[in-house]
Amino acid sequence: MAHTIWLMEGLSSQRDLIQNIRLFSRKSQVNLTIFASHRQPRHEILSLADYALTEPKNDDERLSFILSVVKKHHIQVIHTGRHTAWFETHRDAITASGASLTTGAMSLSDLAVAEDKTRFADAMNTLGLPVVPSLRINSAAELRAALKNSPFSGTPLCIKPVQGIYGAGFWQFDDNASPMAMFQNPERRITTPEQYLCALESAGKFSPQVLMPYLPGPEYSVDILAENGQVLAAVARRKEGALQYLEHDGAAFELGCACAQAMHADGLINVQTRNDHHGQPLLLEINMRPSGGIGYTALSGLNLPGLFAFRRLRLMSADDVQEQNRTAFRPAAIRALTEAISYPLSLNNEIH
């Protein structure tokens, strides 16, 4: 029997998913057929799959495209990391084709909570899970008032958009920062509150922000394979400077797993925590999709993308995956490097 998995466009790591699923299947001596698709000509991603497809750019054409591909190529498993709300809305129509669908969640409501950082913080507080204190800011005037009478007295503050990815829009406030700091060292993400407010008030357009205490860290990124809230396997990455340390236990690891369970996570997802001044981890956010570092997990002996594919294709039971989670992990220190690859100008695996 053929085993087919389709990795549709994601926000990050689609290439790493393909590579690690391929690596796992070869080590397991099981033949998988990997389909990959994207709306853009991302040949460096698509060339790694057995078959490549171009996704329609129009949302109205997406469902018919998916159903046609599933029927024509006997797709068994679909994974997506983008347009997840659309996919959840059309879950029944897609799964009626016979293919399973993984969006990272099992409902639109869970996706909505995950996408809104203040709603997420409120939900975790309600469940009794330690989470970074968060104040929603709906206008520049609200921010000015909050900075004048900080609800988080005695600690440095930071701010970021209520909705966003890749850490875009994050800034740490420092009254003593040089006015040129944000221009000379933008990667440090430090500015004065007044400079930020001046820019905000002159922008003429406001998107909701979340004001929080700045935590000293370290930060943890917990990559998780879950099935309707049940954690099957997980690897925590402790970030310290240029190095990341792969871990399989500890308070941050356990908190990440508890968050995934509470949010009914389904598939490859990521939870981020950061230690407070007492060394205790607090939840920052959950991303109902694979992280940019999901491929690093294989360096610990736990290949989460490979385990995901085999579980969804029913090549492994939940017990099989959990057994690997218990026995295969090995601690590791890793460093991410930037490398160049040869870009294929055309695809020889493209189908229509």
The domain spans of the chain are 4-103, 110-114+216-335, 134-213
Contacts of 120 (CB under 8 A, 6+ apart): 113, 114, 131, 283, 285, 286
pLDDT tier for residue 153 given thresholds of 50, 70 and 90: confident
pLDDT tier for residue 158 given thresholds of 50, 70 and 90: very high
User: How many Å apart are CA 118 and CA 306, to the nearest integer?
Assistant: 33
What does the mean pLDDT of the chain come to?
Answer: 94
CB of 248 closer than 8 Å to CB of 300: yes
pLDDT at residue 1, as a whole number: 61
Pick the CATH number of 134-213 from 1.10.3470, 3.30.1490, 1.10.287, 2.30.30: 3.30.1490
- Asked if pLDDT for residue 166 goes beyond 70, the answer is no
- Asked if pLDDT for residue 183 goes beyond 90, the answer is no
Per-residue pLDDT, averaged over 158-185, amounts to 86
DSSP state of 175: T
Per-residue pLDDT, averaged over 118-134, amounts to 96
Threshold 0.85, pTM exceeds = yes
Pick the CATH number of 110-114+216-335 from 3.90.420.10, 3.30.470.20, 1.10.10.10, 3.20.20.140: 3.30.470.20
Instruction: Give per-residue pLDDT as tens, 190-247.
Output: 999 999 998 888 887 888 999 999 999 999 999 999 999 999 999 999 999 999 999 9
Give which of 204, 236, 190, 201 is closest to 329, Cα–Cα: 236
Residue 26 carries which side chain, given as an amino acid letter? R
- Look up the CATH number of domain 4-103: 3.40.50.20
- Asked if pLDDT for residue 110 goes beyond 80, the answer is yes
User: How many Å apart are CA 126 and CA 115, to the nearest integer?
Assistant: 17
Q: Return the percentage of the chain with pLDDT > 70, whole number.
A: 99
CB of 113 closer than 8 Å to CB of 90: no
Query: Order of strands, edge to edge, in the sheet holding 4-7?
Result: 51-54, 33-38, 4-7, 77-79, 100-102
Q: Three-state SS across 183-201?
A: HHCHHHCEECHHHHHHHHH
| Class of residue 136 by CB neighbours under 10 A (exposed 0-12, middle 13-18, buried 19+) | middle
- Asked if pLDDT for residue 129 goes beyond 90, the answer is yes
- Asked if pLDDT for residue 325 goes beyond 80, the answer is yes
User: How many Å apart are CA 310 and CA 210, to the nearest integer?
Assistant: 39
